[in-house]
Copies of this chain bind each other. A is one copy, B any other.
Amino acid sequence: MLYYETDRAAISPTMNRPTKPRLKPTAPASAGKEPRGARRRRETRDKLLDAAFQLMAMKGVDGVAINEITETADVGIGSFYNHFESKEAIYSAVLDLVFEEFGDAIDRLVSDVNDPAEVIAISVRHTLLRARREPLWGRFLLREGLSARVLSRGLGVRLLRDIQKGVAKGRFKLVDPLMSFVTFGGGVLGTIAACVEIDGPRAAELARLGLHASDLPERAASNLLFNLGIPPEEAKVIAQRPLPVVHPSPTA
């Protein structure tokens, strides 16, 4: 399995520090033994994925043509079809890379956490921190988050699952869990939009309103827990607990 630096960084203790906004593939642990042909093939595929990710984050899937991807990746258009059948295929691979791996890492991180409120707080904080640290990742999520695709894959289904668990355990008090998922999923996106913009030209406007980068993830998590029916003081305490970090992917 490929292992991506950005995924490691996203769940490391340094995640508050803004770093490079690109998917940056790294060699797998077994790189030393990899035959040259296989390595070249992998490198080409990584370049294509990296280019597709960047272009799609900025212009949306529909706004990107295959030849733009190959030009940005600096590989021949024939090479594209050695790796992917279509734009839809590379798009699907990008989605797996940017959301599934991140979602899996968060799932491992909270596998020992029993309180559904804490699971949600940790997941939301990590998601918002990554969106701020890697605005391109945040923009990709903003584009994806409002499509019905979130209902079948990625981070959306995970949020729905976590909300349903909390309702089943009696921890969250919701009248309409599905509608609440739509609302809170959209709400997380709204906060991501703020995270992505908070270091940009509108920072002063956001600050004037009262939105600051320093506590946005905790504040958003606390407010979300309150909306889920957790008493406000408890919500605040849970949202401000030290954020667990995860070790690199077991396959890396």
Q: Binary interface profile of A, 192-220, with partner B (CB < 8 Å = 1, else 0)? A: 11100100101001100111000000011
User: Is A136 an interface residue, CB under 8 A from the partner?
Assistant: no
Q: Does A223 contact B (CB under 8 A)?
A: yes
Which residue of the partner chain B has the closest CB to A160? B209
> Is the beta-carbon distance between B220 and A151 smaller than 8 angstroms?
no
Q: A175 contacts which chain B residues (CB < 8 A)?
A: 222-223, 226, 232, 235
Residue of B nearest to A202 (CB): B148
Interface segment out of the listed A6-14, A55-63, A86-94, A106-114: A55-63
List residues of chain B with CB within 8 A of the CB of A184: 183, 187
Nearest B residue to A64 via CB reads: B63
Q: So how many copies of this chain end up in the complex? A: 2
The reply to whether the CB of A120 lies closer than 8 angstroms to some CB of chain B is no
Q: What chain B residues lie within 8 Å of A142 (beta carbons)?
A: 146
Q: Which residues of B contact A211 (CB under 8 A)?
A: 178, 182
4 closest A-B pairs (Cβ-Cβ)? A186-B190, A183-B187, A186-B186, A146-B193
User: What are 8 A-B pairs at a CB distance below 8 A?
Assistant: A148-B205, A151-B205, A175-B223, A175-B235, A176-B222, A182-B190, A182-B220, A183-B183
A189 and B226 CA atoms in complex are apart in Å by 20
In the complex, A189→B186 CA distance in Å?
6
Complex Cα–Cα for A176 and B187 (A)? 14
Q: How far is the CB of A230 from chain B (nearest CB, A)?
A: 11
